[in-house]
Homo-oligomer: A and B are copies of this chain.
Amino acid sequence: MIVSALLTSVGINTALCVMFFALYSILRKQPSNYEVYVPRLLAEGTSKRRSRFNLERLIPSTGWVAKAWRLSEEELLSLSGLDGVVFMRMITFSLKMFTFAGIIGILVLLPVNCWGDQLKSIDVADFVSNSLDVFTISNVNSGSRWLWVHFSAVYIVTGFICIQLFYFNLWKYFCLTASAISIVIHELTVEIFTHISIVLIFNDAKKLYKTVTQLRSDPTQQKHRRSFSSGLFGRKNSVIEHYEKKLENIEENVRLKQSEASLAGEEARAAFVFFKSRFGAATAVHLQQSVNPTHWITELAPEPSDVYWPFFSESFMRRWISKLVVVFVCILFTILFLIPVVIVQGLTNLSQLEVLFPFLTSILTIKFVSQIVTGYLPSLILQLFLKLVPPAMEFLSSIQGYISHSDIEMSASRKVLWFTIWNVFFATVFSGSILSVLRALLDPKNIPGKLAVAVPAQASFFITYVVTQGWTSVSSELFRVIPFIFSLITRPFTSTDDDFEVPSAPYHKDIPRVLFFGLLGITYFFLAPLILPFLLAYFCLAYIIFRNQFINVYAPKYDTAGKFWPIVHNSMIFSLVLMHIIAVGIFALKKLSLASSLTIPLPLLTLIFNEYCRKRFLPIFVAYSAESLIKKDREDQQNDATMTQFYENLISAYEDPALLPIHYSPDNDSLHTPLISQA
């Protein structure tokens, strides 16, 4: 691709961005669009619908940018929970990383690349003087000593990123262990942290049901439950005492039944079991309960708003089979998706297109059209196809057997990320043919060599990709194209006073996208440093726009305390190792075998660093330590008021929406009633 095509693309997208910004500035001030652009403020009552017309409403303004810029991390934490903070930290992390790599890339590597004349000397006839390839490592002469500059850059940037990752992990770690817990408790997730509750899934429903029936027929308890149902409480303390006792009873009964449980269970049912202390709950979660490990499965209960009911009562086997099926479908989906990628790749090759559709020849000879087709259309089409992926992956994750929305979202994030890496990065690099991708992967010895040839060749495609896919996606995120169109269409049929739902941040869509741009930056920074300014522009836009959206649009439905961080960490490590493999190949290709050999320890060191981080930081994402649990338990014991409030919330916290009618008729004998509805 030539520079003018890139400039066309940059021009179009800058214009699009400016247009989106201007439109956003105006449209967000129109009361009829409040539901689209400031649903959060509307729900909180901060913004009221003003119907009075105002000239100011028609002039674009930049006040929102300043507001988003000034937002402190504490405010963000209170607005969007730890998830939002970690998401923004991921963007600032990328900004730091690429500012550092950008300084090295633009000031050192780019001049070195331009200085070389490999491309000129090899193929004078085919060489276009303003080709983007002049700025890539391809232009450095083979065996040139200047390649040691690239070698040093690879080592320095890897070291910088690893140190940054370590500090980020450390920050996240202190976040999870110290301040964050208390903040999360008081702000967002009272249920999960104040009394970690346990989901016990067991097969022996009939026996448990008997126990429950016995509890029911007990006249003293019957009385209490009636008082619960009618909402006429006696002294609160006595109710709480009774409640605690009953919880103990249930726990004891569950345990007794458990030891009697027969192996051949006929029906699978689930229950919430509440514990009087976090420590007790953690004990029940981390110990295998029944002798048969597939028989009683304990999991930490999600927050009430986070529970995903469809798989709640499923047995181990069904969830396991669901998972196998979803893995299979995912692989199939990923492979079939290569078809649109192949078509898109065809567009970058005009002559191929002219052969396929001869009637297009006359149009394609117009310079502007051909530049749009080669520079802009391919990645736009790819982008439209990729829009389908996050919802598809979210659907697949939702039938995989998870019992919480947050697990589904994290699983979907992972799927979308690996899908993008496979189908956008590798499929593009290996010219879109599934066979050539597979052939390359099935020949690991030659992977570095093949990558070294194929990756730099696609530099211009990915630079355009950053501009089109990145810039456009982030400004359309601001403009909220689809909700806006949807609101335009439905507006005539809905009254403005209807209830509306404040959306929650679509992390499963945004995290993989940000990480994929991180991967592009890391792998291309020493091959084609020209990508870095465009990436930095993307991350700056993302920084402002996501902060703005957290203020105005998204309200968190639940908070996972940033448990998606391991996905980010793994993606960074993968990007680094991929970059090292490409470096090994490039140095070998450029006939600098010493540099090639000296690069080999780098991926090993990175993997050892990763292994250390897994030991040092990963456990806190899986479970809280006894130390912090006991500390919080003690604090709770001293704080009676919170506990009273908590027990009140507990009564109605977990209610399967499908079972609510049963809950309101306590004498119904249905087996479906989960334990919580007896309390």
What is the interface of chain A, defined by CB distance below 8 A to chain B?
177, 255, 258-259, 282-284, 286-294, 316, 320, 324, 439, 442-445, 608, 612, 615-620, 623-631
Contacting residue for A615 out of B294, B608, B619, CB 8 A: B294
* CB neighbours of A290 from chain B (8 A): 625-627
A435 to B: closest C-beta gap in Å: 11
Contact A289 B627 (CB under 8 A): yes
Contacting residue for A627 out of B258, B439, B443, B624, CB 8 A: B258
* CB neighbours of A618 from chain B (8 A): 293
Contact A625 B289 (CB under 8 A): yes
Contact B445 A293 (CB under 8 A): no
* CB neighbours of A177 from chain B (8 A): 291
Alpha-carbon distance A342/B390, docked complex (angstroms) = 54
Contact B291 A623 (CB under 8 A): no
Quick one: closest B residue to A286, CB to CB?
Answer: B286
Contact B627 A293 (CB under 8 A): no
Contact A293 B259 (CB under 8 A): no
Alpha-carbon distance A320/B615, docked complex (angstroms) = 9
* CB neighbours of A623 from chain B (8 A): 287-288
Contact A625 B291 (CB under 8 A): yes
Contact A288 B619 (CB under 8 A): yes
Answer whether A626 and B444 are a contact pair too, CB < 8 Å, given A294-B615, A616-B293. no
Contact A293 B625 (CB under 8 A): yes
* CB neighbours of A442 from chain B (8 A): 443-445
Quick one: closest B residue to A612, CB to CB?
Answer: B320
* CB neighbours of A624 from chain B (8 A): 288
* CB neighbours of A291 from chain B (8 A): 177, 620, 625, 627-628
Answer whether A288 and B320 are a contact pair too, CB < 8 Å, given A293-B620, A616-B294, A630-B255. no
Closest 10 CB pairs of A and B: A442-B445, A293-B619, A286-B286, A287-B626, A177-B291, A288-B625, A283-B283, A291-B625, A289-B626, A259-B627
Quick one: closest B residue to A442, CB to CB?
Answer: B445
A462 to B: closest C-beta gap in Å: 28
* CB neighbours of A287 from chain B (8 A): 282-283, 286, 623, 625-626, 629
Alpha-carbon distance A612/B294, docked complex (angstroms) = 10
A528 to B: closest C-beta gap in Å: 29
A597 to B: closest C-beta gap in Å: 16
Quick one: closest B residue to A323, CB to CB?
Answer: B611
A406 to B: closest C-beta gap in Å: 21
11 A–B contacts from the bound complex (CB under 8 Å): A258-B627, A284-B626, A287-B623, A289-B625, A289-B626, A290-B626, A291-B620, A291-B627, A293-B616, A320-B612, A320-B615
Alpha-carbon distance A258/B626, docked complex (angstroms) = 10
* CB neighbours of A439 from chain B (8 A): 445
A248 to B: closest C-beta gap in Å: 15
Question: Known contacts A287-B625, A291-B625, A293-B625; can you find 4 more A-B pairs with CB under 8 A?
Answer: A286-B286, A288-B623, A288-B624, A290-B626
Alpha-carbon distance A619/B289, docked complex (angstroms) = 11
Contact B445 A316 (CB under 8 A): no
